[in-house]
């Protein structure tokens, strides 16, 4: 009976997993929003400028160096995807 019960991860693993999942979700949402903005006529450079401003804000406000780095990587992926769209 206890075979199907998974052991909960440690708090550090749980917090890191949660943060990475939230950042991935955030990156995917930004991609969808950016694509919608482009499709409705927002100039590409304006959308890219918004992403640059968001990156600068993240750099100043995200306390965790790891989360800041992961967010930056995701944001760069979104930036590249929208720059090529």
The answer as to whether 4 is a domain residue is no
What are 12-57's pLDDT values in tens digits? Answer: 567 778 888 888 899 999 999 999 999 999 999 999 999 999 999 9
The answer as to whether 58 is a domain residue is yes
pTM of the shown model: 0.73
Please report which residue ranges of the chain form alpha helices under DSSP H: 11-39, 44-61, 65-84
Q: Of 2-11, 13-22, 59-68, where does mean pLDDT reach its minimum?
A: 2-11
The answer as to whether 3 is a domain residue is no
The answer as to whether 52 is a domain residue is yes
Count: domains in the chain: 1
Dihedral pair phi/psi, residue 60, rounded to 5°:
-90, -20
The answer as to whether 42 is a domain residue is yes
The answer as to whether 46 is a domain residue is yes
The answer as to whether 54 is a domain residue is yes
Q: Which domain holds residue 47?
A: 14-84
Confidence (pLDDT) at 11: 60
The answer as to whether 8 is a domain residue is no
29 vs 82: CA distance, rounded Å: 13
């Amino acid at each position: 009976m206890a075979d199907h019960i998974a052991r909960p991860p440690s708090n550090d693993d749980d917090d890191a997993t949660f943060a990475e999942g939230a950042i991935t979700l955030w990156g995917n949402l930004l991609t969808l929003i950016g694509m919608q903005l482009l499709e409705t006529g927002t100039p590409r450079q304006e959308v890219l400028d918004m992403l640059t401003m968001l990156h600068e804000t993240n750099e100043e406000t995200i306390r965790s160096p790891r989360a800041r780095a992961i967010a930056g990587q995701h944001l760069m992926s979104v930036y590249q995807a929208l720059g090529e769209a």
